[in-house]
Amino acid sequence: MTTDEQSAEKTYVKTYVPTSQKDEWATHADELDMSQSEFVRTMVQAGRRDFQIPSMNGTQSTVDNAGTTDDDFEDRILAVIEREGVLDWDGLVDRLIDDVEDDVDAALGRLQDENRIRYSGREGGYVLTNDE
């Protein structure tokens, strides 16, 4: 069996979550036009930190504490094309921008939940809370 065939092999993972959580995941997956499996797989990978992943050329890349790698952008492009199918240049850029906007929105939400930043209408944008 070739390396490509081995990396293409799939297996299943079974887990139990509350029905409300599964419903929330299913709704979010639908909004992203993803299967539930693809959604869970993507969210699990996005949540992992400091792990080794193989790159396209067979070397290992280390994911930093921010969850990014040298191959991250290429992975995003592949994920968008897998999810959307054939896209022209403008369509691909639009989908990538949408994904980045979603990431920024989620990060801002987490930072506000952690009280590390807040939105200031007076200052016209997000500011550090200086609570650290």
95, 86 Cβ separation under 8 angstroms: no
The DSSP symbol for 116 reads: S
The pair of structure tokens assigned to 29 is: 């997956």
Give strand ranges (E) for the chain: 52-54, 60-62, 117-120, 125-128
The pLDDT, as a whole number, for residue 63 is: 47
Q: Where are the domains of the chain?
A: 88-132
Are the beta carbons of 129 and 117 closer than 8 angstroms? yes
Conformation bin of residue 115: beta by default, left when phi > 0, alpha when psi is -120 to 50: left
Q: What is the pLDDT of residues 25-74, one digit of tens each?
A: 888 888 888 888 888 888 777 766 544 444 444 554 444 444 455 467 78
Would you say 40 and 25 are in contact if contact means Cβ atoms under 8 Å apart? yes
Mean pLDDT to the nearest integer, 107-116: 90
pTM of this structure: 0.40
Q: How far apart are CA 53 and CA 70, in angstroms?
A: 11
